[in-house]
Amino acid sequence: MPAIKIDPAQPITFAITFHSPHVVAYRLWYKRPGDEKPSIFATGTDDETSNPSTHMHTVGPLPPGSEIRYLVWLSGNSYTAYRIEIEVLQNGQPVQDGAFSLRGTTDEDGFDQRKNTLELTV
C-alpha cells in the first residue's frame, strides 16, 4: 500500500486523468482510522472522445492513518493500451509521493480494471 504524506488540516483532492479511447467507470472511497468500512466519496464515468480527460474530487480533511481506495474499470477494443494518471493534491499543489501512472492493455474481451489503497501519513 503506497503511503502519501498529507497535511491533516487540509482537504484532499484526488485527480484522475484518462489517456485512453476506452469507456471508463471509477469509484473512490475513504476510510478513517476506526471506521468499520470505507465510505464512497466519488463515482464517475468517462465515455467522451476527448483524450486526455481529467476528473477531480475532494474529500476531507482526513486524519493520518486514513486510506483512499480507488477502483477503475476500462472497456473498449481488445488488446488496446491505456494510461491513467493519478495525482493527490492539497491547496492545489501535489503532495509528496502522491503521483501515480498506471499503464496496461485490455484483455481479449476489451476489459481491464485497476485498484489500490493509498495510506495517508504526516
pLDDT, residue 75, reads 92
Q: Which amino acid is at 20?
A: S
* Bridge partners, residue 12, by sequence: 59
Domain segments of the chain: what residues?
3-121
Fold of the CATH domain 3-121: Lipoxygenase-1 (2.60.60)
pLDDT, residue 46, reads 77
pLDDT, residue 50, reads 55
pTM: 0.88
pLDDT averages per 10-residue partition of the chain, 122 residues: 93 92 92 97 78 88 96 93 94 93 96 95 91
- 68-92: b (≥16 Cβ within 10 Å) or e: bbbebbbebeeeeebebbbbbbbee
Neighbours of 121 (CB within 10 A): 14
User: pLDDT > 70: what percent of the chain?
Assistant: 96
pLDDT, residue 1, reads 78
